[in-house]
Amino acid sequence: MKWDWVADHVPDLVELTGQHAYLALLPVLFGLLISVPLGVLCVRWPKLYPPVFGGANLLYALPSIALFIVLIDYTGLTSWTAIIPLTLYTFSVLIPNVVDGLRSVPDASRQAATAMGFGTTRRLVQIELPIAVPVIMAGLRVATVSSISMVSVAALVGLGGLGQLFTDGFQRDFPTEIIVGIMLTVLLAFVCDALLVLAQRLLTPWARARVASR
Amino acid sequence: MITYDRVTKRYPDGTVALDELSVECPAGEITVFVGTSGGGKTTALRMVNNMVEPTSGTVSIDGEDVRSRKPAQLRRGIGYVIQQVGLFPHRTIVDNIATVPYLLGWNKKRARARAMELMERVGLPSTMASRYAFQLSGGQQQRVGVARALAADPPVLLMDEPFSAVDPVVRAELQEELLRLQSELRKTIVFVTHDIDEAIKLGDRIGVFRTGGKLVQFGSPETLLTDPADEFVAAFLGRDRGIKRLSFLAAKGLPLRDRPVLPADSPSSGAASAAGDETWLLAVDAGRKPLGWVSTEDLAGTATIGDAPLHPIGHPFDVETDSLRAALDAAVLSPAGSAVGVDSGGAVVGVVSQEELGAAIRGGFGGGVT
């Protein structure tokens, strides 16, 4: 471990971490934006769910490196080459959680909402989605951490991020760079996860109290 | 007033949930729909707020077809209480109660003030306002359910087996509470239950439904108990129909004897003769509160009647407010075979024997219908 190398490269490491976070987190956001409406549709029309779920699982089985390479032909060395596959992975992680979350809404609460004069959209936004938040959040945490981990692979096709430290470190046979890359990736994942936990606590005080009372 | 005019509900598979229902639920009264499962009572209830649409016929409130209004608008004007309560787990109690006021566009302050007022009205401590549903007992949750239904002061209240999931003690409390609220609020209530005793206790009018969605009989509880339309209704009312009917006869006016009622410090020597041919004496304290029954056979060797073994009276009945059924029950429980009548302060007014009660019942006794 050569600490002076680390000290010399702080600005580079910060830039790579920022790039890594950007490449990993934007797909999580996009994945969420796709999963929620599609999950809502799957709950509304249950026949839709098996093909969507099966398709999502297949997507997850595709090797990321293969997707990156295929996409280079179309999107070149832009961020999109990383963002598109990772969005698909996030989607396949999140869709079951969105559906399960919406299904966790007690039927009596849904019925009471209808009987009190909620329209379909208002019921979804004010009652069903808030009640689904804890389950969706659980999926979001997994998706976020795995996206941060997977985006390292993008460096193999030259897309940047902390993965560059691995490729560079291997080529130059320089372990310090690899170790720093691993540590920063884990640290980034840890910080993002902690932020999500914090957000969940603020968003769903009722769910926290429920666990505490058990 | 809610009017059902030849209302039928037939499902695509041919099942008939409701068959040509024509009935009027009077304004300001509690109409109870009771019956076997599959009798269509819940279907009928859910037609009032357009949660179920009739296949034919019309349901109207004050002459206006419920289907002529937008469902969401209609429902905000109709309170709805269900067995599973259906509170929103992510909202505090006060915000659960304020749901409909929020939907109607009230500002937060006004809606919450109204919700707090209702919490008090249904007997919930204001400290519960900021709690969540899972922190409340089943009975408390249902009180919230009732408060939520009343929040926007709707003229009509629909209640679908609201008290079926709580234990009998809490259920009785909630029933009393509903009657108390109703005496103040005078809502038009449709109440569905499978419990005939609940129907008799709460209903101003009762409709009995049979499997296949047929309304078999519609009338006051007394009418049903006295004159059931057919075997089905009679069987549904049960083998204690006669006893239940006594609930509608007041105990007020029963002949009460006070000769066996003696202070506990009365000397035993004179007690037997003072009581004449009575074989049981009722010992009372200085405030005439009943202490227990004393058999005249046990008086030998005692100084005062209070020294003899005291037998518990079971329960007394209130001579002003209780029914003949309560008086009869008190007499059946009593070792002396007599019921103890007390005033509102719990002081003994007199006693009445099973024989005297029997005579009063045979004579069509009634100090009036309660």
**DSSP state letters, B184-219:** HH--EEEEEES-HHHHHHH-SEEEEEETTTEEEEEE
Q: How far is B70 from chain A (nearest CA, A)?
A: 10
Convert the pLDDT of each residue in A85-108 to its tens digit: 999 999 999 999 999 999 999 999
Q: Taking Cα atoms as reference points, which of A39, A26, A29, A28 lies closest to residue A95?
A: A39
pLDDT-based confidence at residue A209 (cuts at 50, 70, 90)? low
Which tokens is B297 given?
């056979």
Specify the DSSP element, H or E, that contains B87: none
Residues making up chain A, counted from first to last: 214
Q: How far is B225 from chain A (nearest CA, A)?
A: 34
**In angstroms, rounded to a whole number, what is the distance separating the alpha carbons of residues B228 and B221?**
10
Q: Does the beta-carbon distance from A106 to B86 stay under 8 Å?
A: yes
**In angstroms, rounded to a whole number, what is the distance separating the alpha carbons of residues A113 and A128?**
10
Give yes or no for a contact between B90 and A206, defined as CB atoms under 8 angstroms apart. yes
Which of B73, B75, B88 lies at the smallest CB-CB distance from A115?
A: B75
Instruction: Using an 8 Å CB-CB cutoff, list chain A residues near B135.
Output: 209, 213
pLDDT at B71: 95
Which tokens is B21 given?
């229902």
pLDDT at B367: 44
Which of A112, A114, A206 lies at the smallest CB-CB distance from B90?
A: A206
Q: Does the beta-carbon distance from B51 to A117 stay under 8 Å?
A: no
Percent of chain A with pLDDT over 70: 97
Give yes or no for a contact between B2 and B61, defined as CB atoms under 8 angstroms apart. yes
Split chain B (370 residues) into runs of 10 and give each run's mean pLDDT. Answer: 96 93 96 91 96 96 95 96 94 96 96 96 94 92 95 96 92 94 96 94 95 94 92 91 89 89 87 78 93 89 90 93 94 93 94 92 58
Interface size, chain A vs chain B, as Cβ–Cβ contacts under 8 Å = 73
Convert the pLDDT of each residue in B291-334 to its tens digit: 999 998 888 888 898 899 999 999 999 999 999 999 999 999 99
Q: Does the beta-carbon distance from B86 to A109 stay under 8 Å?
A: yes
pLDDT at A21: 93
Give yes or no for a contact between B264 and B237, defined as CB atoms under 8 angstroms apart. no
**In angstroms, rounded to a whole number, what is the distance separating the alpha carbons of residues B136 and B87?**
11
Rounded mean pLDDT, A44-62: 92
Provide ipTM, 2 decimals. Answer: 0.83
Which tokens is B314 given?
């079971």
Specify the DSSP element, H or E, that contains A2: none
* Substitution target from A127, A206, A213 for chain B, most B beta carbons within 10 A: A206
Phi, psi of B57, deg, nearest 5: 90, 175
Which tokens is A85 given?
């596959």
Within chain B, residue ranges assigned H as helices are 41-48, 71-76, 93-97, 99-103, 108-121, 138-150, 168-185, 196-202, 221-226, 231-237, 241-245, 268-274, 324-333, 354-362
Provide the mean pLDDT of chain A. 90
Q: Taking Cα atoms as reference points, which of B312, B330, B335, B324 lies closest to residue B360?
A: B324
Backbone conformation region of residue B246, classed left if phi is above 0, alpha if psi is from -120 to 50, else beta:
alpha
Instruction: Using an 8 Å CB-CB cutoff, list chain A residues near B76.
Output: 116-117
pLDDT-based confidence at residue A213 (cuts at 50, 70, 90)? very low
Which of B82, B87, B103 lies at the smallest CB-CB distance from A117?
A: B103
pLDDT at A36: 96
- Per-residue buried b or exposed e for B39-67, using 16+ beta carbons within 10 Å of the residue's own CB: bbbbbbbbbbbbbbebeebbbbbeeeebe
Beta strand B2-10 pairing with B56-61? antiparallel
Which tokens is B24 given?
């009027």
Q: Does the beta-carbon distance from B72 to A117 stay under 8 Å?
A: yes
Which tokens is A1 given?
């471990």
Give yes or no for a contact between A178 and A172, defined as CB atoms under 8 angstroms apart. no
Percent of chain B with pLDDT over 90: 80
**In angstroms, rounded to a whole number, what is the distance separating the alpha carbons of residues A53 and B77?**
41
Within B251-353, residue ranges assigned H as helices are 268-274, 324-333
SS3 helix, strand, coil % of chain B, rounded to 5? Answer: 40, 25, 35
Which tokens is B214 given?
């047929």
Instruction: Using an 8 Å CB-CB cutoff, list chain B residues near A131.
Output: 88-90
Give yes or no for a contact between B77 and B64, defined as CB atoms under 8 angstroms apart. no
- Per-residue buried b or exposed e for B308-347, using 16+ beta carbons within 10 Å of the residue's own CB: bebbebbebbbbeebbbbbbbbbbeebebbbbbbbeeeee
CA separation (Å) from B221 to A20, A94, A201, B245, B368?
Answer: 75, 56, 53, 8, 15
pLDDT at B296: 87
Chain A CA closest to residue B152: A116
A123 has a pLDDT exceeding 50: yes
pLDDT at B365: 53
> CB-based contacts of B260: which residues, under 8 Å, 6+ apart?
B275, B278, B280, B281, B282, B338, B351
* Substitution target from A102, A105, A109, A129 for chain B, most B beta carbons within 10 A: A109
Which of B51, B134, B158 lies at the smallest CB-CB distance from A114?
A: B51
pLDDT at B117: 95
pLDDT at A7: 84
Convert the pLDDT of each residue in B257-266 to its tens digit: 988 898 998 8
* Substitution target from A105, A116, A124 for chain B, most B beta carbons within 10 A: A116
Q: What is the DSSP string of B341-370?
A: EE-TTS-EEEEEEHHHHHHHHHTT--S-B-
